[in-house]
A and B are shown apart, each in its own frame.
Chain A
Amino acid sequence: MTLLAITALAIVRLRGLLAVTMLAGIYSFLSAGLLTYLDAVDVAMTEAAVGAGITTVLLLLTLALTGTEEAAPSRPRRRIIPLAVVTVTGAALIYATLDMPHFGNPDAPAQVHVAPRYLEQSGAEIGIPNVVTSVLASYRAYDTLGEVMVVFTAAIGVLLLPGVERHRRRPDAGDDDRDSGAS
């Protein structure tokens, strides 16, 4: 947690965007470590691969387009309102966490609703040891289908972005697999 805070502060202070990108990757990796510590290994895997790996590369590719130096803030005086908004929001969030049950509390609402049934019955109903997979892939198969559709839609959106397919017009780059319908 301390390392996370230090990394976040460094990201805020630095102006060189290359270093900021690297620090963001480190931040994601530290988050993955924290999630592993909290026994959320699935999420940690995703965080390490997407947050530390793919997002970092994506930011680097973006930096190749934009340049690697952040411009100095144009009007440094108007800092009161943003500070107030951040403080109030942060205070509200911290106030809300006071009502949350402690980590690992067996009486937490999330643990007493359907979780016991999943834990007790999924062995007989689904028959696989990993209850998380049982819940995601079988009990909540509709939700997972929706998630896959979201990912699918994201890919369609990326393909539709202007300029994405432009490179394939080059005559030597194997154009024969290209859709002839797209203009």
Chain B
Amino acid sequence: MNRNPIVREVCDFMLPAILLVALYIQFHGEYSPGGGFQAGVVFGAGIWMYALVHGLERTQRIIPPAVVRFGVSLGLLLYIGVGFACLLLGENFLDYDALGGGHGGHGGEQDGHNTHGQHLGILLIELGVGITVAAVMVTVFYGFAARRGVYNPSDSD
């Protein structure tokens, strides 16, 4: 744990903003630059900052490593699951038109394209990308910081 109160306060002040920006990048990616990958990276960097200031033990109490490893797989499975959902609904793999009722379904705007299905599909797979990338970032930090001799300050937390 970092004993410098300025560092701690600035970290606690910045962290909600960073995580909020990450969520904004995630869910506003259809309208502004960004998407799942950027959001996951920013989210992961926020967790890194918290872990650097408050120590590994405290971070792992809030986000246990088992949860993080679960998240790594969950995001990828969500992505693949969307693909297979499209397949089961009668379209091609990752053809999101299926999610809104298929070509010429009720959500289509024109030419048989189903923009509602596309919206839902893109939202879900971007969420999958974001979860996986953020979880991978935290996994990497846990893996490296937990090595003996690398990050001793947290042991005296």
What per-residue 1/0 map shows which CB atoms of B127-157 lie under 8 Å from chain A? 0110011011101110111111111000000
Q: Is A165 an interface residue (CB 8 A)?
A: yes
Residue ID in chain B nearest A136 by CB atoms: B35
Flag whether B11 is at the interface (Cβ < 8 A).
no
Asked whether A127 and B34 contact (CB < 8 A) given A61-B145, A65-B150, the answer is no
**Dominant secondary structure of chain B at its interface with chain A:** helix
- Nearest CB of A to B78, in Å: 10
Chain B contacts of A148 at CB under 8 A? 75-76, 79, 128-129, 132-133
Question: Is B38 touching A49 in the complex (CB atoms < 8 A)?
Answer: yes
Task: Work out how many contacts link A and B, with CB atoms closer than 8 A.
Answer: 167
Interface status of B85 (Cβ within 8 A of chain A)? no
Interface flag for A125 (CB, 8 Å): yes
Assembled-state Cα–Cα distance A146/B70 (Å)? 19
Taking residues whose C-beta sits less than 8 angstroms from the other chain, chain B's interface range is: 35 or more
Q: A46-B41, A49-B42, A137-B35 are in contact. Are A173 and B57 (CB under 8 A)?
A: yes
Chain A, interface size: which category?
A: 35 or more
In the bound complex, CA of A49 to CA of B37 (Å)? 11
Q: Does B55 contact A (CB under 8 A)?
A: no
A42-B38, A155-B136, A159-B143 known; 15 new pairs, CB 8 Å cut-off, are A45-B33, A46-B37, A49-B42, A53-B45, A57-B141, A61-B144, A133-B122, A134-B122, A138-B94, A141-B83, A151-B133, A158-B140, A161-B143, A164-B143, A178-B66
| 24 pairs from A and B in contact (CB 8 Å cutoff) | A42-B33, A45-B33, A45-B41, A50-B45, A54-B41, A54-B48, A57-B48, A64-B151, A65-B147, A124-B109, A126-B113, A128-B115, A129-B31, A132-B35, A133-B126, A136-B35, A141-B94, A147-B37, A147-B129, A149-B76, A155-B72, A163-B147, A164-B144, A168-B146
Q: Interface on B for A, CB 8 Å cutoff? A: 25, 29-35, 37-38, 41-42, 44-45, 48-49, 52, 57, 60-61, 64-66, 69, 72-73, 75-76, 79-80, 83, 93-94, 96, 109-111, 113, 115-116, 118-119, 121-122, 125-126, 128-129, 132-133, 135-137, 139-141, 143-151
